Amino acid sequence: MGSFAIAFFHRAELDCQWAFGALASGSLAACFWAICIHFWDFKITARIALPLHLWGQKLPVVRSSNGTVMSAKVSRAGRPWRSTKNLPQRPKEGYGMQWPEELAGDVHRTIAIHKGHDAHIAIAIGSRIQCVLELERFFGRRYFFPKVDHFSRDWQLAAELVRDHCDCESGSCPREFDTGLVVDFGTYESIQATQLPKVIERVFPVKEWRNVNHHESHALMAYYSSPFRSSLILSFDGGGNDGTWNVFVGQGLDVYRISREQINLGKAYTRVASFMPALTGFDLSLQKLCSALPLHSPGFNLTWDEAMINWPLTKLEGFAGKMMGYSGIKAPSPEASEWMRQFYQRAADGDHRLPGAVLNMMCKSEEGRQLVAASTQDEFSKFVQPKVANYLLQLKLKSINVEGIVLVGGCALNVVTNQVIRETLTSFTSPMDGGSRPRDVYVPPAPNDSGLAVGAIWSLFPPTVRQPLQYLGFRLFDEEILPEEAQKRGAQRLSDLGGVEYLAELFAGGPAWQKHPAAKTPKPIIAVVRGRQEFGPRALGHRSLLAFPDSEDMRDRMNRIKFRQWWRPAAPMIADEALEYVFGHKFGSTYMEFAPVVRDEVRQLFPGLSHFDGTARHQSVGREDEPWVHALLLAVGKRTGLAALINTSFNSRGKPITNTVTWHRLSDRPSTAWLVMFCSSLIMVVLFFCFVFLREN
């Protein structure tokens, strides 16, 4: 075995220098470390002394971020000012453009890859991200995880799409790269995964490859895209090569890891969700669970292995998001909440045995499962909030002040918990606290694993200017056929019909809609596809189904058109000018990252706006965020009294957000069988090249 392993590593080092992760255990540790030394360039993965030792395990002294290197370079560039009178005059030297070596990163070309679930590719010039391709959008498989039998083919096709269709700021995109980065290397590696650099190099020449850790990538992406100059950063999810719960502090361009704990809330939350047929679509998991219960007492005796179904990873990934919506149907149950509180505390210590009493409630009825879901969500928030509060307290005791709180990782998609932290731990809603609290909470547009490659790029070149990220996806993959398809359907330019004013009249059910042949309902549902696709899991007005929220029936129609469960929420997009009217406070939420409570008066007038628990996971839209959508919302507000629309992603059930011209048939029901679709910015950014499809069935 030893000689085989050494031969394997030797071959890997010669071929691609990438195969150490899968066999790094036991007697292979020395060989693993030798290849680690070869693999990592410590000029990039700088050695640092951690400044704080507050919690968790003993932490490694190597990280991927070069924040300390960046600071050193800045200090070298900032030499003291000296008078020229004591210097010899050299008129022929020292004049003209002379670029310091430290500024060379402005033209450094980087490609970064995350190869796990939510696989994606990002490219950058210097610190400026040019585009992000989420492979699920290209291949049509939600939470895309590369299949072994198609691994090389899929990644090569994805790289070719990036080469041919990425929109770069300068007009021309890189055809070769100085550095290639892979996130999370060493976690669940296959032989195919070790060959990924070679696959990419079939399309792009890459001079050197580097690895960046999972939670460091999360933290860097979130912090550098935030509006804060300093922050506490919590990165928490179901797992990466550097754990499941990591805490960092960002100060200027430096990011320091201060804690790592063995807490896996993502796994605990998802395990409870996996037993609920309303979320999974199958009764089998609940049947297996209930058949095992009579053999156990109400305490924590049932192991996960006794009750679990081996869900595919791409199926399992969707349960947590559905759980948040399902948990809003009922209020938490005191009995279930007590058990779930203990469950999370035990899970934090590595004990994931399930509470029999709660499982009995789930087996008895659908109402019991709804109560358990509400308690599961409520106790999740009550576990996270005190942890964040304690980190802030520890920082204060060290005289370390932070401007904000940054939440990232898959668990940061939990908008209910994000809202609790915002309302209780920041000065956002209580500005008169003397400035002792962080100013606000920030969650990036892609807090899940689809944002990892951006953080990896910023580990090399931290941005000095904040870059908006939410629309860094791709234009329609087949947009070249759009003019022909539009002509076939007798499409018209939206600008010829009146632009956003005409569209707003349709949403409001005005004369333009009433006279239309497709007007079989009081108000329409309209599909919007325009410009570049959203980056991250939320539809933010570029690939959206939109409607006016003046009835619960409209929300129900939204769910029927996508074959979704009746309890799924429709998230509103609201103009900044209407936020205070809707919530009683100007709750900004550019990427749908929070869920404040809607005012009672607004819920009565516009019942389709909020979820069953009275909250709304909204997208706030200002002119600077998305000028066209902002103008549309204001036009709707002039006609209806509310500058808002309800919004859900333009996709069919179980599929990723659409990005093709190919028509998506969503439902045959008479009330939802039509769509209006328009597309913009196909030729020039300034010239809106728009079509309206008014087609029944």
Alpha-carbon distance of 663 to 127, in angstroms, equals 37
Residue reference for tokens 């359907």: 489
Rg (CA), the chain: 26
Domains 103-226+447-468 and 227-264+389-446 share a fold: yes
CA–centroid distance for 255 within its chain? 20
Our CA dihedral for 329, 335, 336, 339, rounded to 10 degrees, sits at 160
Alpha-carbon distance of 441 to 427, in angstroms, equals 10
Q: What are the backbone dihedrals phi and psi of residue 238, each rounded to the nearest 5 degrees, phi first? A: -85, -5
Q: Which residue type does 232 have?
A: L
Alpha-carbon distance of 281 to 161, in angstroms, equals 34
The domain segmentation of the chain, as residue ranges, is 1-39, 103-226+447-468, 227-264+389-446, 265-381, 479-696
Q: How far is CA 187 from CA 45, 213, 227, 434, 608, in A?
A: 19, 10, 32, 45, 43
Measured CA angle at 185 (ends 179, 188), to 5 deg? 155
Q: Which residues are registered as beta bridge partners of 211?
A: 182
Cβ 211 vs Cβ 181: under 8 Å = yes
Give the helix/strand (H/E) hosting 388.
helix 366-397
Taking domain 479-696, whether its CATH number is 3.90.870.20 is answered by: yes
Cβ 648 vs Cβ 660: under 8 Å = no
Q: How far is CA 434 from CA 426, 429, 438, in A?
A: 12, 13, 11
pLDDT along the chain (697 residues), means of 10: 28 31 36 37 35 35 36 29 44 64 71 93 96 94 84 94 94 94 73 86 96 95 97 94 94 94 91 90 80 67 70 84 94 95 90 84 92 97 97 95 96 97 89 74 96 96 93 91 76 81 92 79 85 93 92 89 86 97 95 96 95 95 95 97 94 84 48 33 25 38
CA–centroid distance for 398 within its chain? 32
Please tell me the predicted confidence (pLDDT) of residue 354: 81
Taking domain 103-226+447-468, whether its CATH number is 3.40.50 is answered by: no
Q: Which residue type does 488 have?
A: K
Give the contacts of 481 (CB within 8 A, at least 6 positions apart): 661
Please enumerate, as own/partner, the contacts of 80-83 that have beta carbons within 8 Å and a separation of 24 or more: none
Ramachandran category for residue 592: left, alpha or beta (phi over 0 → left; psi -120 to 50 → alpha)? left
How confident is the model over 627-652, as pLDDT tens digits?
Answer: 999 999 999 999 999 999 999 998 87
CATH of domain 227-264+389-446: 3.30.420
Please tell me the predicted confidence (pLDDT) of residue 91: 55
Alpha-carbon distance of 208 to 35, in angstroms, equals 15
